[in-house]
Amino acid sequence: MSAPDPTPLPVTPPDAPAPAPDDDDHLPTHGVADHSATRQAREQQVGQRPGTLIVREGALTPRLFLISYSTDHVVEQEYPHYDQLLAYFRAHPELRHWIDVRGYNDLALMQRLQDDFRIHPLQMEDVLGDYQRAKVEESEDGLFMVSRMTEFTRLLDINDDQLSIFTGPNYVLTFQDDYEDCLDAVRQRLRSSRSSIRRRSSLYLAYALTDVVLDHYYPTMAAIGDYLEVLEERIFQGRSDRRVLNRILHIKKDIVRFRRLVYPERDKIAEILRLPDEEIPEEIKVFFRDCYDHAIQALDLAESYRETVSSLIDLYMSDQSNRANEVMKVLTIISSIFIPLSFVVGLYGMNFQREGPDGRINHLNMPELYSPWGYVGVLSFMLVVVIGQLTFFYRKGWLSRR
């Protein structure tokens, strides 16, 4: 039976219902080890011909979105058929286009996209594999970038989805295996005629997409930071049990994972900055430089959370040993007081006989028992002993709470 637990451990990931902190039967089991889709995806591929298109099990049916824009113009539509989209795209070379493919589960369509947009088979494999670290490569018509979008789930995990971006002279082609994403802010800005995206090249749109992905690292980190504070407060209130340790280690795993996601992101941007100006003009690079600062700051924050986690583990361990100390103090105080007293009362429970078998009085055999003040004297003596011991323990500070 457990003492009532007034403050549950809340998590507040953006736009998510509160987590269920007491649902520990499931949560901790998946706490520390890593069930990443990455691993599973790789396993399916062992021995496969490189460049073979394989669609990950459980992938979504593709939906095709097209946003076509120019400085004073924007058209946004979902196309049920790829042919229509392609026709519109080809009919309007004067516009810039964002072709947004969500869901991979149509191999034929993927093959057509690969052919129409001259995508290298290995790059298409990276797109569909959905487990690629952030990177940038040159493609036939421009650049191929991979970003990883993070989300902090209510089970305290970091989900990450892949956003693959191909740039071309007048288009940006993105792939992701999710109908919902974090790119709505960019779509919103595209709709506004004041937006700089409308006025600039398609590379700027690619930048804007990269930037919005980076921006979403912050709510993830903020949720982790908030959760760490909740855990810390719990430890400070002395209510740290095993579950708290599980959670700390779980969050530590998230932070490690987050760093593994963001380090390649930083390296990717650094590589973009080193590309020759023909591939990325200087006026776009200045924006990526800003991204670079953001990536560094996200890593800084992750580093500092790691330190926090290690401090929390120190605190937890110290708490555990504190509590063992407390248990032992109770045992020691009670034993130290009552074991000597038990000896005293045992002493006067001995049966030494005042009268020897020969009827002689043995005056040395426990004369106290026959004194009229014997009992009171013993009680008083024991009281003095107890007071003495309590004084000793008080002086040692063992009677105080800590």
Closest approach of its own copies to the CB of residue 295, in Å = 11
Closest approach of its own copies to the CB of residue 106, in Å = 22
The Cβ-side half-sphere exposure at 299, using a 13 Å CA radius, reads 15
The token pair at 304 is 């500092």
Report if residue 71 touches its own copies, rule: CB under 8 A.
no
The token pair at 388 is 């003495």
Closest approach of its own copies to the CB of residue 131, in Å = 7
Report if residue 395 touches its own copies, rule: CB under 8 A.
yes
Select the residue interacting with its own copies from 33, 72, 80, 359 (CB under 8 A).
Answer: 33
Report if residue 260 touches its own copies, rule: CB under 8 A.
yes
Closest approach of its own copies to the CB of residue 7, in Å = 12
Separation between Cα atoms, residue 214 and residue 207, nearest integer Å: 10
Q: Are 48 and 54 in contact (CB under 8 A)?
A: yes
Per-residue binding letters, 261-300, with its own copies (x by CB under 8 A) = -------------------------xx-xx--xx-xx--x
Q: Are 297 and 220 in contact (CB under 8 A)?
A: no
Report if residue 75 touches its own copies, rule: CB under 8 A.
no
Closest approach of its own copies to the CB of residue 161, in Å = 17
**What DSSP string describes 284-310?**
HHHHHHHHHHHHHHHHHHHHHHHHHHH
Stretch (H or E) spanning 335: helix 282-347
Structure-token match 């998946």, residue found: 30
Nearest to 63 by CA among 222, 181, 206, 191: 181
Looking only at residues 161 through 200 of this chain, which bind its own copies when binding is defined by CB under 8 A?
182, 184-186, 188-189, 195-197
Closest approach of its own copies to the CB of residue 361, in Å = 7
Select the residue interacting with its own copies from 16, 215, 270, 385 (CB under 8 A).
Answer: 215
Stretch (H or E) spanning 27: none
Q: Are 252 and 134 in contact (CB under 8 A)?
A: no
Select the residue interacting with its own copies from 51, 93, 281, 388 (CB under 8 A).
Answer: 51
Tell me whether residue 14 or residue 93 sits nearer to its own copies (CB atom). 14
Q: Are 207 and 268 in contact (CB under 8 A)?
A: no
Report if residue 307 touches its own copies, rule: CB under 8 A.
yes
